[in-house]
Chain A
Amino acid sequence: MREQQNILQRADKPLMIMYLMLLTIGALTVFAVNYVPGSSSFFDLSLTHGRQMIWMFISVLLGLSMLTFNSNFFTKLSIPFYVIMIVLLLVTLVVAREINGARSWLQIGPVQFQPAEFAKTATALMLAKYISGLKISDRGVRYKFIASVIILLPMLIIVLQQDVGSALVYISLSLVLYREGFAVREVIVGLLFGVGFVCSLIFDVRILLWLFSGVTLVYVLLSSEKLWRKEGARAALFTVLIILFFSAFILAFYFVQLRLVLALGAVALLITAGLLIRSSKHIRVMPVLFMYTAITAFSVYGTAMVMNDILQPHQSQRVLTLFGLSDDPDANYNVTQSKMTIGSGGLAGKGYLQGTLTQLKHVPEQTTDFIFCTIGEELGFIGTALFILLYAAFILRLTFIAERQRSPFTRIYCYAATAIFFIQILINVGMTIGLVPVIGIPLPFISYGGSSVLAFSIIVFIVLRLDADRLLILR
């Protein structure tokens, strides 16, 4: 008991208070969404928001009990937890029935849950465990490869479960890699990989080719700054060869008959450029070009596969809608309805429980993916702004907690938590206000859903537990 009090005293108060505030807002909002004037009681636990409150209660209880764990428990747990989650994801892929177009729900007795929600935590812990176990001098190519695989493995399985939203969350972990010493360009290439994955669903693949080529070219030229300074002529010749390589490579996609010739020409140009630059230590072009070729090949050949096999029709339609490429009124419907509902709130909102559009079930998925609309309608700009600021403070607080750690494990884990919350909010709020494609992903602590509240709470409580020991242990 004394131990626990100690822990509570040592836990980060601001983060805890913000967490509780968000949970409260979540409970009130879920109640507002399902509110029927004159017949709803806030304390009726049989209703939707009642079930949500039970889950919140369980989450807080579980979280508090987790504070009593030894913080070493989490480092030790990392690897088994990650392995178990990967297995669970694979099991889910096989046994799950389709719900809302995705095979991501696992049924155990009466309880339904989404392993993907918990796999985020497992991946964050695993990443922290792996990176913190290495000396700085050991962080070479092998390190970068393994770190990438830790992130990409669950992501790939989740993509196969046709849960694109959850899969996109893993892209955010590249922020952690960035903080842990990945070069900016490597992170950019990684992000490009992720963004390219989404974009390749939207744009003509040939435009993507030009995009990737441009980015790669700029990347190569910038990273060879020293080369330009010392060996201008060789750099110029190299640049010309690389431009010719890109041209031949791109033209290969346009001219079907000449494809083989052009492809061979591109390879020849690439080898010439490589030989020319071989002796220079100022540029490392081969990994970049390898990455480039991989990404293009993935976007070009992956597009058809992803569009047709992985992405649900409604999802690809929504992606198209965001970019104004679809005139299907029903696909536009969700975004327009959502923006209308938020817009109708005006500056001060219609008042809590006064959201007419909310009560009319104006927006689809209103308790889950589009719950932000209700905040927008009932509390207006004042409410949404305060809400956004609260989230910003919450996330920034996470980064401050991360930076004050002596333990790399805790730091990495805190950054993973930061990244996960950040992308969840980025995608969820972004889609409701029309800045991001409509991709089903919950708003942490607010959206209805037991798995989601529990999983996000666990992430927060692990941060609190690890942080509480920041002065005691150096892991």
Chain B
Amino acid sequence: MTGNAQFQNRAWVIRGLVIGVFALFLLQLLRLQVISSDYKELAKDRTVRKVTIYPDRGQIFDRNGKLIVLNKPIYNLMVIPSQVKEMDTAKFCALLGIDRDYFDTKMAAARRFSSLHASVFFPQIDGETYAGIEEYMYQFPGFFPEIRTVRGYPYASAAHVLGYVTEVDSADISRSDGYYKSGDYIGKSGVERSYENILRGKKGYRYMVVDAHNRLMGSLADGTMDEAAEAGKNVTLTIDIELQQFAEALMAGKKGAVVAIEPTTGEILCLVSSPTFDPNLLSGSNRSKNFGRLVMDEGRPLNNRALTGYYPPGSQFKAVMALLGLQSGTLTADQGYPCGGGYRMSGHTVGCHGHPAPANVVMGIQHSCNAYFCYVLRHYIDDQEGSTADNLALLKEQLASFGIGVRTGVDLPGEKPGNVPDPEDYNKIYGTNRWKSSNFITLGIGQDQMIVTPLQNANLMATIANSGYFIAPHIMKSVAGEDSLMQALNRRHQTSVNPVFFEPVIEGLSMVVKAGTARVARIDSIEVCGKTGTAENPHGKDHSQFSGFAPRNNPQIAVAVLVENSGFGATWAAPIASLVMEYYLTGTIAPSKQYLLERMLNANLLGNPIVPAPPVALPIEDPDILQRDTVVASR
């Protein structure tokens, strides 16, 4: 009794402890059940598992309805470690062609991730290989295939146009406002990238109910909450895949670019950047290995020279210079200028080659007279109202209306704007306003700081063919239900030059091919207009260039060709452009041009081409002229 009394107050300590613990429980329960929503959210994810259904990417067709990009199944071999039973590991490894180390490493990694959830054990097994393994899979519980599709390219061509698809990286995920999840695929370049939103379709979701052991218990609410996946839309490109292959074959063994555009529509008929590669290399199981090889390749096959290659336009620019001169009124069509082997200034001379004195614009262009266009530039800058700087700024502005010095707006990623110098550039070099036309006289012949991409050259020729307007070059021909997109693509850009001034220039371009520097580009029965260019290359041999269009009346195709480090425009670029135009317009190459075709196809200017010409039926009468064996062997 006394003992009881002595420590009776301790009862309250004990009750206090009990009350304290229970109060703590109530607080924690309040947090878990009422205040925090973390666990509720988590609960949704864990038990009602949202299974993503990946839609098929849209297929891609060329302008003639040929399927050029398709989907083919691959198999990711998945593993749920807790479901793996004792098995014949040696046999399993042999089937997959892996060693015990790989097996142990992957299994350990999978267990670290979770023993109840699936991880990728062996990625991207192609269909044929998987078919060989499939019948044994029942012996290996816990392993199962997950089917995904990868891109397939039956024509093995147009890598730069089509681009490639790969797994999203963290930057893609954070940019996408929650659309992409790790493991999704995304177009990384070319059409795959610029039309990602159309091609990818819409991911679907199935709500599966699973228990704590990740066993499937059925679908939630009989699937009424599921969202069906929407396949990506099929698209038709403006590309003519056979023309593309033909141009690629012509460019094999050469560095450079070929761009062909249908002038009236701005549709890109072919777009070649050489060296190129088989797009199948960047799809499927060896993707990363091949990607590494392409990145390391000295020829930079991943660069899209057609859109990003920076080259001085050279003599091709003279056509534009003539147009600007005519528009400004500082040049008339029958203006003649002297050329005694060049344009002489106090300090130095801009040299020219021997030709009849240019009596008018047509002759100036026909003979590609350097002196003539130095005069045109000088008068353009000096004779117009306003300061030298003002008139240079005007030149830049007018060129922009031709899509030069600005991006043409092509619907392919990564296009570069090229360069037209502006007054600020010369202020920096010579001091503010302490320069005059003689300081940049070679701008008139497409040199100085003038930089143009092959795409801009082709677009320029399309503009001239259209006598004064262009539709921004584009690659997308049609997508069902995307009318506003197609309207936006077909917007017409008017140049600042009056259509009447185009006639003498076109005549000049025609004369270049008929009786000028590009006679090699003639096509029987078709009047070709064009202009060679030899871009000075401070790092080596000059770049050979040609751009033109045909036929003169009702032009169907405008082409720009650039072959790096190969010398005069007439040597390589003009014949290639001519063959491309002839092939496109007539569907074949005339017997009289077979010798030229043979020479172009077999010319190997690189010594060791990276990727062979694609195996296509070329319009060649004697197939033996193609010595492709050497090329194939070098692969």
Contacts from A to B (Cβ < 8 Å):
136, 139, 175, 178-181, 329-330, 333, 336-337, 339-347, 356-357, 360-364, 376, 380-381, 384-385, 388-389, 391-392, 395-396, 399, 402-403, 406, 408, 411, 415, 418, 422, 426, 429-430, 433-435
Contact = CB atoms under 8 A, between A and B. Distances in A.
Nearest to B46: A340
Contact of B26 (A179, A363, A388, A395): A388
Contacts of B11: 179, 399, 402-403
Given A336-B42, A376-B33, A399-B14, A430 B25 contact: yes
Given A333-B116, A399-B11, A422 B25 contact: no
B29 interface: yes
B212 A333 contact: yes
A137 B262 CA distance: 114
B25 A429 contact: yes
Interface of B is mostly: helix
Interface string B202-221: 00000001111100010000
A385 B29 contact: yes
The 8 tightest CB contacts between A and B, nearest first, are: A343-B39, A344-B43, A381-B33, A340-B43, A392-B22, A136-B3, A343-B32, A340-B39
Contacts of B17: 175
Contacts of A389: 22
B210 A426 contact: no
Contacts of A139: 3
Nearest to A342: B32
Contact of A343 (B19, B38, B213): B38
Contact of A406 (B1, B19, B211): B1
Given A362-B211, A408-B4, A433-B28, A329 B113 contact: yes
Contacts of B7: 179-181
A343 B40 contact: yes
B22 A362 contact: no
B40 A435 contact: no
Nearest to B13: A178
Contacts of B209: 360
Interface residues of B, number: 44
A392 B113 contact: no
Contact of B25 (A343, A406, A411, A435): A435
A346 B40 contact: yes
Contacts of B213: 361
A338 to B, nearest CB: 10
B14 A175 contact: yes
A435 B47 contact: no
A136 B426 CA distance: 108
19 contacts: A179-B7, A329-B114, A336-B42, A340-B40, A340-B43, A340-B47, A342-B33, A343-B39, A343-B43, A360-B210, A360-B211, A360-B212, A362-B46, A363-B212, A385-B30, A396-B19, A403-B8, A422-B21, A434-B32
Contacts of A175: 14, 17
B566 interface: no
A364 B25 contact: no
A347 B33 contact: yes
Contacts of B15: 396, 399
B36 A343 contact: yes
B502 to A, nearest CB: 71
B25 A381 contact: no
Given A340-B43, A395-B18, A136 B6 contact: yes
Contacts of B40: 340, 343-344, 346
